[in-house]
């Protein structure tokens, strides 16, 4: 195979300019990197296949690929920029993070591929710690390397708060001015971003940012994305919204969101992340439908990254609350969900199916008019 | 692969400082190279106030050294020696070091999907 027909390397996105040959080489390398000694697990075949088809190239069957070694993969991607190769490594990490436990051989193998691709990635290291059973160190690493970077760059004026929390994933504290600002969204016309996010909070009984126990001003940013990207607020919806947010971040560190939520909701590698708490009663990523939905969220995030080149959690949504949701979606480049994701059952932000059981019960307690 | 544990029994009047020392160590290890050290616990003896047991755990890294050998390697690191000096400054007398091979642990059984 050859990559001689490849278009010019992109600035960091993955789908554009990837030839069928190159896409196959990537798939072969990823599959070889993450295969346990007994071969790829069915969940890996399904998830990696869905993600590959959504963000890289034509569909391939990961179960039947000829292995491609790290040196060969590195040679095939030699002309690609670091960010592109970094995203390939994150595909590998995604393919190992869904294993429980992660076999040491897999974690070491992914590290070999990352080194060959000249990618220094903290999530490769975190996966190695998971494989060792060093979950506490892995969480410290994830926390210090991923989230801390994010909120240190968050602007207090943009978040409309004067309260600086040491941990923005922890529940918020009282901030009267912030709470009043969020309360004022109720007065905005229906269909505006502010009113819609108010409706989202109201219908679920969420504590407002600025109130004790509500989301921090920083974490509340992701609730605007729930509305804009039209994702539910149950655990499936959180996986979708953070897959999109993480991939939309032009900095590969955004992968921290998906890595953390998979650890919280799927494998248990992360016991508690402050505002979000782990729930392993039902495996979410065992379902093919969720693989399609996550893949589509990554595709949409990739499009946003190419178009916006800004972390969605750094957007000044407070300056946009009076505009219509459709208008803001268009400005940020948030595409509609794919037909495949819709067919896989991805509920919208205001669909009952997108609520957790507790949220549904709360919505029902409000009566039909407000529950939507 | 079973792990290796190092016990360090100390007597000290500086409980909070011991906690801080271990937390600082973990923060420094978390973002560094993957080593054999995988975590620690600090236990206070209820029957003997002022007596503490630190249990540091080690696992394989690259498959070429046993967890016990990784612990030996860790002991030879300069930062480990500096840490031991800081520990000695907080305790009365010389710490008592003990070494254990793990024979059983509650938890994952190795099945990839069922744990």
Closest Cα partner for A330 from A319, A339, A320?
A: A320
Cβ–Cβ gap B30/A141 under 8 Å: yes
- From chain A, the residues in CB contact with B108 under 8 A are 100-101
Q: The complex's ipTM?
A: 0.89
Residues in chain A closer than 8 A to B60 (CB atoms): 104, 132
The highest-confidence range among A53-62, A148-157, A215-224, A263-272, by mean pLDDT, is A53-62
What is the per-residue pLDDT for B52?
98
In chain A, the percentage of residues whose pLDDT exceeds 70 is 81
Least CB–CB distance from A132: residue in B31, B59, B115? B59
Residue A227 has a pLDDT of: 97
Strands B4-11, B51-58: parallel, antiparallel or unpaired by DSSP?
antiparallel
* Residues belonging to chain B: 115
Report yes or no: A93 and A110 within 8 Å, Cβ to Cβ. Answer: yes
Residue A210 pLDDT greater than 90, yes or no: no
Q: Reply yes or no on whether the pLDDT at A3 is more than 60.
A: no
> For A321, what's the count of Cα atoms within 13 Å in the CB-facing half-sphere?
24
- Who wins on pLDDT, A251 or A12? A251
Among B22, B28, B30, the strongest candidate for a mutation testing the A interface, having the largest count of A CBs within 10 A, is B30
Is B34 an 8 Å CB contact of chain A? yes
Residue A167 has pLDDT above 70, yes or no: no
Which of the four pLDDT bands, split at 50, 70 and 90, describes residue A228?
Answer: very high
At residue A7, the pLDDT reads 38
Q: What is the pLDDT of residue A174?
A: 74
For residue A4, the model assigns a pLDDT of 36
Q: How deeply is A33 buried, as exposed, middle or buried, from its count of CB atoms within 10 A (0-12, 13-18, 19+)?
A: buried
- For residue B64, count other CB atoms closer than 10 A to its CB: 8
| Chain B neighbors of A101, CB-CB under 8 A | 108, 110, 112, 115
Residue B115 has its nearest CB partner, among A100, A137, A138, at A100
Asked if pLDDT for residue A157 goes beyond 70, the answer is: no
Specify which residues B54 forms β-bridges with.
Answer: B8, B42
- Nearest-Cα distance to chain B for A275, in Å, is 22
Write down the domain spans for chain A: 20-133, 156-371
Q: Is the pLDDT of residue A367 over 50?
A: yes
Comparing A133-137, A236-240, A358-362, B71-75, the range with the smallest average pLDDT is A358-362
Torsion angle (degrees, nearest 10) of CA B100, B103, B105, B108: 130
Q: Indicate the pLDDT class of residue A107, thresholds 50, 70 and 90.
A: very high
- Token pair for A300: 């949409």
H-helix or E-strand spanning residue A370: helix A368-371
Phi/psi of residue B53, each to 5°?
-125, 125
CB atoms within 10 A of CB A19: 17
CB pairs under 8 A between A and B: 60
Cis peptide before A216 (omega within 30 of 0): no
Q: How far apart are CA A231 and CA A225, in angstroms?
A: 8
Residue B113 with chain A: CB contacts under 8 Å: 41, 43, 100, 286
Interface contact A145-B113, CB threshold 8 A:
no
Q: What is the pLDDT of residue B63?
A: 84
Nearest CB to B31 within list A41, A108, A144: A144
Q: How far is CA B76 from CA A329, B10, B51, B60, in A?
A: 57, 21, 26, 17
User: Does the pLDDT value for residue B51 go beyond 70?
Assistant: yes
In chain B, what residues touch A133 (CB-CB under 8 Å)? 3, 38, 59
Burial A137-151 (b: 16+ CB within 10 A, else e): bbbbbbbebbbeebb
Beta bridge partners of A273: A276
pLDDT tens digits along A309-340: 999 999 999 999 999 999 999 999 999 999 99
Among partner residues A125, A128, A136, which is closest to B26 by beta-carbon distance?
A136
Helices within A35-190 (DSSP H only): 42-55, 70-76, 82-97, 104-116, 122-132, 135-142, 148-152, 156-159, 176-184
CB atoms within 10 A of CB A115: 15
Model confidence band, residue A47 (pLDDT cutoffs 50, 70, 90): very high
A176 or B106, which is more confident?
A176
Of A50-54, A361-365, B105-109, give the range with the top mean pLDDT. Answer: A50-54
Who has greater pLDDT, A169 or B93? B93
* Rounded Cα–Cα distance for residues A65 and A46 (Å): 13
Q: In sequence order, what DSSP letters do the residues of A92-116 get, joined into one string?
A: HHHHHHTSSSPPHHHHHHHHHHHHH
- Per-residue pLDDT at A50: 96
* Mean pLDDT (whole number) for A98-113: 93
CA distance B69 to chain A (A): 15
Q: What is the pLDDT of residue A11?
A: 37
Q: What is the pLDDT of residues A60-81, one digit of tens each?
A: 999 999 999 999 999 999 999 9
Which residues of A fall below an 8 Å CB-CB distance to B?
Answer: 36, 41, 43, 99-101, 103-105, 108, 122, 125, 128-129, 132-138, 140-141, 144-145, 286
Which of B34, B59, B63 is the best mutation test for A, with the most CBs of A within 10 A? B34
pLDDT at A82 over 80: yes
Interface contact B108, partner A, CB < 8 A: yes
Q: pLDDT at position A5, please?
A: 36
Q: CB within 8 A of B100, min separation 6: which ones?
A: B4, B5, B6, B7
- Confidence at residue A216, expressed as pLDDT on a 0 to 100 scale: 82
* Whole-number pLDDT of residue B112: 39
Q: In terms of Cα–Cα distance, which of A133, A111, A115, A106 is closest to A123?
A: A111
Q: Which of A232, A251, A350 is nearest to A293 (CA)?
A: A232
Cα(A237)–Cα(A239) distance, rounded to whole angstroms? 5
Closest residue of B to A132, CA-based? B59
For residue B44, what pLDDT band results from cuts at 50, 70 and 90?
very high
pLDDT score of A12: 45
Higher pLDDT, A241 or A259: A241
User: What is the predicted pLDDT for the residue at A259?
Assistant: 83
Per the DSSP assignment, residues forming a β-bridge with B43 are: B53
Confidence tier at A9 by pLDDT (50, 70, 90): very low
Least confident of A133-147, A200-214, B54-68: A133-147
Tell me which residues of chain B, numbers 52 to 81, contact chain A at a CB-CB cutoff of 8 Å.
59-63
* Digit-coded pLDDT (tens) for A252-265: 888 888 888 787 76
What pLDDT was estimated at residue B45?
98
**Across the interface, do A137 and B30 touch by the CB < 8 Å criterion?**
yes
What per-residue confidence (pLDDT) applies to B100? 96
Q: Check whether B6 has a pLDDT greater than 80.
A: yes
Which H or E run contains B36? none
**Does the pLDDT of residue A372 top 60, yes or no?**
no
Q: Judge if pTM exceeds 0.80.
A: yes
Q: Is the confidence at residue A14, as pLDDT, over 70?
A: no
**pLDDT band at residue A173 under the 50/70/90 scheme:** low
């Amino acid at each position: 195979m050859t990559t001689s027909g490849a278009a010019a390397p992109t600035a960091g996105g993955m789908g554009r300019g990837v030839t069928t040959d190159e896409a196959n080489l990537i798939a072969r390398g990823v599959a070889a990197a993450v295969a346990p000694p007994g071969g790829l697990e069915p969940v890996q075949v399904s998830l990696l296949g869905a993600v590959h088809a959504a963000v890289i190239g034509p569909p391939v069957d990961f179960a039947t690929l000829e292995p491609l070694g790290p040196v060969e993969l590195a040679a095939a991607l030699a002309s690609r920029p670091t960010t592109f190769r970094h995203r390939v490594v994150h595909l590998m990490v995604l393919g190992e993070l869904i294993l429980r436990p992660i076999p040491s051989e897999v974690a070491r193998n992914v590290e070999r591929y990352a080194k060959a691709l000249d990618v220094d990635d903290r999530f490769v290291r975190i996966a190695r710690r998971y494989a060792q059973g060093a979950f506490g160190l892995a969480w410290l690493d994830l926390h210090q390397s991923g989230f801390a970077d994010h909120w240190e760059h968050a602007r207090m004026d943009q978040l409309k708060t004067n309260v600086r929390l040491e941990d923005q994933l922890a529940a918020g504290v009282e901030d009267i001015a912030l709470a009043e600002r969020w309360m004022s969204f109720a007065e905005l016309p229906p269909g505006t971003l502010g009113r819609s996010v108010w409706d989202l909070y109201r219908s679920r009984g969420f504590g407002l940012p600025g109130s004790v126990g509500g989301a921090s001003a920083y974490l509340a940013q992701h609730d605007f994305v729930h509305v804009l990207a039209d994702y539910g607020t149950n655990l499936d919806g959180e996986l979708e919204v953070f897959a999109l947010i993480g991939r939309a971040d032009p900095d590969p560190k955004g992968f921290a969101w998906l890595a953390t939520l998979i650890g919280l909701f799927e494998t248990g590698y992360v016991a508690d992340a402050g505002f979000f708490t782990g729930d392993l009663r039902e495996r979410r990523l065992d379902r093919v439908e969720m693989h399609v939905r996550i893949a589509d969220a990554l595709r949409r995030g990739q499009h946003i990254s190419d178009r916006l080149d800004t972390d969605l959690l750094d957007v000044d949504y407070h300056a946009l609350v009076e505009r219509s949701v459709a208008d803001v979606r268009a400005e940020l480049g948030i595409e509609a969900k794919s037909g495949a994701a819709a067919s896989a059952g991805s509920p919208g932000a205001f669909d009952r199916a997108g609520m957790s059981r507790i949220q549904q019960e709360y919505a029902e307690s409000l009566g039909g008019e407000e529950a939507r | 692969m079973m792990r290796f544990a190092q016990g360090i029994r100390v007597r000290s009047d500086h409980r909070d400082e011991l906690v801080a020392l271990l937390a600082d160590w973990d923060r420094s290890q978390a973002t560094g190279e993957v080593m054999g050290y995988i975590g620690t616990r600090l236990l206070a003896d209820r029957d003997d106030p002022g007596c503490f047991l630190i249990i540091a755990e080690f696992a394989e890294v690259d498959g070429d050294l046993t967890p016990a050998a990784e612990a030996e390697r860790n002991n030879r690191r300069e930062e480990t020696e500096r840490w031991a000096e800081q520990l000695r400054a907080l305790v009365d007398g010389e710490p008592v070091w003990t070494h254990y091979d793990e024979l059983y642990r509650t938890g994952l059984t190795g099945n990839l999907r069922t744990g």
